Amino acid sequence: MSEEGHRVTLNVYDLSQGLAHQLSTAFLGKAIGGMWHTGVVVYGKEYYFGGGIQQSPGGSTPYGNPIRVEELGVTHIPQDVFESYLEEISPRYTAETYSLLTHNCNNFSNEVAQFLVGISIPDYILQLPNEVMSSPMGALILPMIQQVEATMKAGEVPQVGQFKSSLTSQTTKPSIAVNKPSVVAARSEEAKKTKAASPKEETTGGVSIDPLGNARSKLQEEIAQEFAAIMATRTLRASEAAALAARRVMQRYGCADAAA
């Protein structure tokens, strides 16, 4: 053991660059602080998991500046002993074993923190995947999760555009199945010709209705009901129930690929 202690900190980054916080309430029904990536800083270096175990001079990783730094404590473990430990665990932290939901950079940081100082990293970081997937709408962002996971496996940094395009596609797909633009246009033209109000026209009492908003609300309500019914059987975990609920509802509207 080294007589001189080494400060150990945790650099915390938001891969979504604020987008998760802005959109989480609308998409998940709850606010989340960010999509967290972490690295452990000790011996003047930052150690993190992405496409394998990586190291960089402290604060100079491809993820930019951390949004916060968590103090973990002081370690007396020599650097060479620590790096031997990293070699020992490296087969478990490869591009092939990376999973954004179950085996990610934060799981690596947590294991390293326990080795160095005997404590875990904060729960708000570790519990984020469960918090997201336990939401009835969590399964709808699985395509985005898979896309970000592929980027992280390649050792690259996800871009904000990945989050925006995926979230946009998930909100438009269900609404197209419910109210196709061509059908709405045909109804509108028919109403003009017959001078009669269509039973499914886009106004009620002179107040314009947003068809996309209605479709999203209906979809969320059905998924929530399906989720509650599955959970009542006590046969699946919350994340599994959420995925199954979303898949069943999407299949009703011919959009099974969106939650597959």
SS (H, E, C) 198-254: CCCCCEECCEECCHHHHHHHHHHHHHHHHHHHHHHCCCCCHHHHHHHHHHHHHHHCC
Active site (annotated) includes residue 105: yes
Which among 21, 103, 105, 255 is annotated as catalytic?
A: 105
Q: Which tokens is 99 given?
A: 């999973």
CB 158 within 8 A of CB 152: yes
Active site (annotated) includes residue 255: no
Element housing 39 (H / E): strand 36-42
Which among 21, 37, 76, 255 is annotated as catalytic?
A: 37
Q: Which amino acid is at 177?
A: A
What is residue 157's DSSP assignment? P
Q: Which sequence positions are flagged as catalytic?
A: 37, 105
